């Protein structure tokens, strides 16, 4: 890989509030390709239409008063990601990436890639995207990621604010995100911190999704060893959840098996997922999905190959969650339920199969949670979970609801 120079201001490449969106996109891309640290110092609104792909050892620093405004591409096939790491496309891990001070205006720009209510044909519409990677700041296959002082106030209904999947050592701090979709969306990974952040979102403020729809998570696997600290849900959040933890299992492929939208199968060391309409329709898989390209249609089933960066022995059938601490949460928004821990079974995702091992939820702690507005249920649990600890704060036993599982399959303690 070419050795990058140390530091430059993006203005040296033509990145400017006075430049057009295509010109700014190319200028910022050229800057991060050549320099490790790229600064943007002149205050103003910078229009950007393209997606900026970040290589390893990239550090973007935006000064106060710098605003990045998304603009549609001329062909209208908008990319869901404003910033995304290169390895998301190549299937290789990137290291040492940071973004500080990014204030983003979504400006009505939504991804042209498939959303949860589209058919599989729509996947082909966005050739410059990764299926399931839907954050304005998106990172797939990344180690040592730092995001600080990120502001987004106008999320629409398709794309997340921040999405990180298949990661190790991630710190996200001082985030303020408002709008209709997920604020921060974690896929599989380990060792992460999210702290000192505020959310007012219409879907999940914070998603920890070991499994998810095939068009909402690029991969499928365990999430572990995390700290969510001093995060607040602001008044005005519309439905959704404050925190979602979603687990699941894949199956070994067998000829003649029945599959539905978002099902995951493991065969010959590779994982493949179904991308069809979320209508509960069942399909019979007669032809083994074993291919190297991104997509393949077999027996009328549209398959997506996932886990590109993984050796076969590293791909697991189980996608569980363990060792997560939620400390100092504040809920300043009335709602029916705030936190959901579950496995899904509907047209969007059939995340657990009878007879399969139930994915583990283990060692989840809520410390010093403050419920500031009426909440009917703070915590809903719909899958076996052990070592759920409630410490301090004002959560009461009446604020916890268990369904879809036997009481003995859930172990909760108050300390």
pTM for this predicted structure = 0.95
Q: To which residue do tokens 């390709």 refer? A: 33
Beta strand 385-391 with 283-285 is unpaired
In this structure, the chain runs to a length of 415
On whether the CB atoms of residues 138 and 144 are closer than 8 A, the answer is no
Domain assignment present for residue 320? The answer is no
List the structure tokens of 40.
């943007």
pLDDT at 32 over 80: yes
Confidence of residue 179 (pLDDT cuts 50, 70, 90): very high
Domain assignment present for residue 298? The answer is yes
| Cα angle value 186/191/194 (rounded, 5°) | 55
Question: How many whole angstroms separate alpha carbon 296 and alpha carbon 274?
Answer: 10
Q: To which residue do tokens 């995951």 refer? A: 264
Q: Is the dihedral of CA 248, 403, 164, 169 positive or negative?
A: negative
Domain assignment present for residue 306? The answer is yes
On whether the CB atoms of residues 123 and 94 are closer than 8 A, the answer is no
The number of folded domains in the chain is 1
pLDDT at 28 over 90: yes
Domain assignment present for residue 302? The answer is yes
Q: Is 284 helix (H, G, I), strand (E, B) or coil?
A: strand
Q: To which residue do tokens 């990172």 refer? A: 139
pLDDT at 128 over 80: no
pLDDT at 215 over 60: yes
Question: How many whole angstroms separate alpha carbon 119 and alpha carbon 261?
Answer: 10
> Phi/psi at 25 (nearest 5 deg)?
-60, -45
On whether the CB atoms of residues 248 and 315 are closer than 8 A, the answer is no
Question: How many whole angstroms separate alpha carbon 47 and alpha carbon 15?
Answer: 9
On whether the CB atoms of residues 177 and 155 are closer than 8 A, the answer is yes
> Phi/psi at 10 (nearest 5 deg)?
-65, -20
* Residue 60 zone, left/alpha/beta (φ > 0; ψ -120 to 50; rest): beta
DSSP assignment, residue 51? P
Mean pLDDT confidence for 57-77: 92
- pLDDT value of position 76: 65
Domain assignment present for residue 272? The answer is yes
- pLDDT value of position 77: 67
Element (H, E) at 367: strand 361-367
On whether the CB atoms of residues 152 and 139 are closer than 8 A, the answer is no
Mean pLDDT confidence for 263-282: 91
Domain residue limits at 286: 251-314
Question: How many whole angstroms separate alpha carbon 210 and alpha carbon 217?
Answer: 8
- pLDDT value of position 120: 47
Residues 6 or more apart whose CB falls under 8 angstroms from that of 3 comprise none
Q: What are the residue ranges of helices labelled H in 46-104?
A: 87-90
The tens digit of pLDDT for each residue in 330-359 reads: 999 998 999 999 998 887 888 877 777 888
> Phi/psi at 73 (nearest 5 deg)?
-70, 155
Domain assignment present for residue 270? The answer is yes
Domain assignment present for residue 289? The answer is yes
The tens digit of pLDDT for each residue in 130-169 reads: 889 999 999 999 999 999 999 999 999 989 999 999 999 9
CB atoms within 10 A of CB 286: 11
Domain assignment present for residue 267? The answer is yes
């Amino acid at each position: 890989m070419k050795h990058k120079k140390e530091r430059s201001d993006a203005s040296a490449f033509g990145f400017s509030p006075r430049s057009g969106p295509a010109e700014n996109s190319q200028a910022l891309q050229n800057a991060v390709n050549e320099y490790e640290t790229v600064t943007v110092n002149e205050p103003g609104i910078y229009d950007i239409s393209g997606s900026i792909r970040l290589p390893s050892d990239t550090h973007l620093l935006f000064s106060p008063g710098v605003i990045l405004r998304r603009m549609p591409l001329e062909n209208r096939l908008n990319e869901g990601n404003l910033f995304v790491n290169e390895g998301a496309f190549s299937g290789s891990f990137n290291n040492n990436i940071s973004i500080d001070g990014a204030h983003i205006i979504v400006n009505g720009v939504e991804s042209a890639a498939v959303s949860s209510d589209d058919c599989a044909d729509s996947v082909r519409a966005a050739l410059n995207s990764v299926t399931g990677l839907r954050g304005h700041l998106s990172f797939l296959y990344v180690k040592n990621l730092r995001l600080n002082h990120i502001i987004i106030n106008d999320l629409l209904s398709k794309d997340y604010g921040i999405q990180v999947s298949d990661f190790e050592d991630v710190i996200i701090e001082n985030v303020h995100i408002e709008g209709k979709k997920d604020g921060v969306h974690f896929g599989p990974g380990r060792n992460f911190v999210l702290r000192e952040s505020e959310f007012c979102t219409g879907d999940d403020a914070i998603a920890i999704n070991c499994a998810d729809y095939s068009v909402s998570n690029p991969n499928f696997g365990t999430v572990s060893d995390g700290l969510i600290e001093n995060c607040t849900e602001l008044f005005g959040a519309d439905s959704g959840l404050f925190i979602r933890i979603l687990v699941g299992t894949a199956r070994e492929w067998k000829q003649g098996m029945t599959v539905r939208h978002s099902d995951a199968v493991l065969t010959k060391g590779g994982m493949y997922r179904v991308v069809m309409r979320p209508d509960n329709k069942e399909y019979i898989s007669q032809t083994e999905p074993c291919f190297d390209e991104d997509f393949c249609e077999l027996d009328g089933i549209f398959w997506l190959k996932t886990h590109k960066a993984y050796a076969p022995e590293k791909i697991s059938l189980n996608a569980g969650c363990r060792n997560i601490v939620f400390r100092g949460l504040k809920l300043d928004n009335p709602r029916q339920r705030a936190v959901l821990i579950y496995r899904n079974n509907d047209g969007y995702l059939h995340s657990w199969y009878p007879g399969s091992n139930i994915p583990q939820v283990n060692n989840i702690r809520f410390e010093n949670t403050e419920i500031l507005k009426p909440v009917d249920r703070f915590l809903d649990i719909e899958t076996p979970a052990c070592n759920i600890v409630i410490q301090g704060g004002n959560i009461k036993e009446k604020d916890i609801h268990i369904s879809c599982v036997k009481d003995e399959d859930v172990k909760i303690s108050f300390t």
